[in-house]
């Protein structure tokens, strides 16, 4: 017995009953089923049904609290006024000759003190979050808390930088806004500048004595 198979045409789009169609028809079908890489409101086909995926952790690519080194090391005392005074013991006496003969009274010397004044400086930052933004569900926690944390880290970074680069000669209305950082506090007489010459053993001795 012989069984015959016969193909037939469907009534839609001219496609055969066995799935044969034009290359354009297959491409359109494939496009509609792909998730794709489209983003934003212009997504079409399968991309429009794709749920967007956002990494749960926030990648910090700038400085963090671990980079704040000098500020953590220096001693800090509370200030109770906008002007703080302090005393310095400069030396225990002059450069008089300490040697005396038998029975001779040593020359009198006095300790040298100095009263210094330091103006208290102020740092601040303003952060803003709209009421509407505070009502949404953010990806990485409460927006106000995040801005508070970012503001604190920003201020600490400014403190750290200005502990080195601060310059009290920069003033506003005659009053210095910044404190003096290390660059301004280091006495020029305590800097050994060889002006390009090679360092010698004597230079190391002079430098070490200055440090001491």
pLDDT at 16 over 60: no
- pLDDT score for 113: 96
What pLDDT score does 97 carry?
Answer: 87
- What is the DSSP code string of 20-80? ---HHHHHHHHHHH---S--GGG--GGGGGPPP---SS----S--GGG--HHHHS------
For 117, phi and psi rounded to 5 degrees? -125, 135
Q: Is 56 exposed, middle or buried (0-12, 13-18, 19+ CB in 10 A)?
A: exposed
> What percentage of the chain reaches a pLDDT higher than 90?
42
pLDDT in tens, 100-125: 999 999 988 999 999 999 889 999 99
Dump pLDDT digits (tens) for 33-88.
677 888 878 777 778 888 888 888 889 999 898 999 999 999 998 999 999 999 99
Residues contacting 136, CB < 8 A, separation 6+:
143
Q: Which of 176, 43, 63 is nearest to 119 (CA)?
A: 176
Maximum Cα interatomic distance, the chain, rounded to a whole number of Å = 148
Computed over every residue of the chain, the mean pLDDT equals 84
pTM listed for this prediction: 0.66
Rounded Cα distance, 147 and 163, in Å:
24
DSSP 109: -
């Amino acid at each position: 017995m012989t069984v015959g198979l016969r193909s037939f045409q469907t009534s839609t789009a001219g496609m055969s009953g066995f799935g044969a169609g034009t290359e354009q028809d297959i491409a359109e079908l494939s496009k509609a089923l792909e998730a794709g890489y489209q983003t934003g409101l212009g997504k079409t086909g399968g991309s429009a049904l794709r749920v967007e995926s956002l990494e749960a952790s926030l990648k910090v690519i700038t400085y963090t609290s671990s980079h704040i080194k000098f500020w953590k090391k220096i001693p800090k005392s509370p200030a109770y006024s906008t002007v703080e005074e302090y005393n310095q013991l400069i030396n225990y006496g002059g450069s008089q000759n300490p040697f005396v003969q038998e029975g001779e009274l040593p020359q009198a010397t006095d300790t040298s003190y100095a009263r210094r004044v330091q103006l208290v400086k102020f740092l601040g930052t303003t952060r803003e979050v709209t009421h509407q933004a505070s009502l949404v569900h953010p990806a990485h926690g409460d927006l106000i808390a995040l801005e508070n944390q970012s503001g604190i880290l920003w201020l600490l970074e400014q403190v750290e930088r200005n502990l080195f680069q601060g310059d009290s000669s920069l003033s506003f209305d005659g009053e210095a806004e910044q404190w003096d950082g290390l660059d301004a506090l280091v006495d020029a007489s305590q800097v050994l500048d060889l002006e390009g010459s090679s360092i010698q053993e004597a230079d190391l001795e002079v430098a070490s004595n200055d440090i001491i």
